[in-house]
């Protein structure tokens, strides 16, 4: 199955993750990403942790280098109990983009 082989290859190449907790693949259009994140936020309000994780795992590999999404993704990860993923994500983003205003804002809000 080719999709399993691609996922395994991505896992073997940590530099392919950028700063996200998911191996990055083809970047999705802004609208599609925004709709998935909005849906995940709505599920988080309903305390539907399982569905939040399904949505995050679906959109996560397609975030690309959008640093403006660090805060909403980090907040969702925190909400579902994945604080260590948030710590790693913020640390990697600060290392990769130390002067990016969105990285600094996400760090200040998520890890003051």
pTM of whole model > 0.85? no
Predicted pLDDT of residue 44: 96
Give per-residue pLDDT as tens, 61-90.
999 999 999 999 999 999 999 999 999 999
Band of pLDDT at residue 36, cut at 50, 70 and 90: very high
pLDDT at 5 over 50: no
Taking Cα atoms as reference points, which of 93, 2, 77 lies closest to residue 40?
77
Q: What is the mean pLDDT of the chain?
A: 89
Q: What's the rounded Cα separation, in Å, for the pair 105 and 33? A: 20
Predicted pLDDT of residue 102: 97
Mean pLDDT computed over 79-103: 95
Taking Cα atoms as reference points, which of 96, 47, 45, 52 lies closest to residue 73?
52
Number of H helices, E strands in the chain: 6, 0
Q: What's the rounded Cα separation, in Å, for the pair 13 and 99? A: 25
């Amino acid at each position: 199955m080719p999709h399993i082989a691609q996922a395994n290859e991505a896992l073997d190449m940590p530099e392919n993750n950028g700063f996200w907790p998911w191996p990055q693949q083809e970047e999705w259009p802004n609208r599609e990403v925004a709709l998935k994140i909005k849906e995940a936020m709505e599920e988080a309000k309903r305390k539907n942790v399982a569905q939040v994780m399904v949505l995050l795992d679906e959109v996560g590999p397609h975030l690309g280098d959008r640093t403006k999404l660090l805060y909403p993704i980090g907040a969702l990860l925190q909400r579902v109990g994945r604080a260590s993923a948030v710590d790693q994500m913020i640390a990697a983003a600060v290392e990769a983009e130390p002067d990016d205003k969105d990285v600094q804002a996400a760090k200040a809000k998520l890890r003051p």
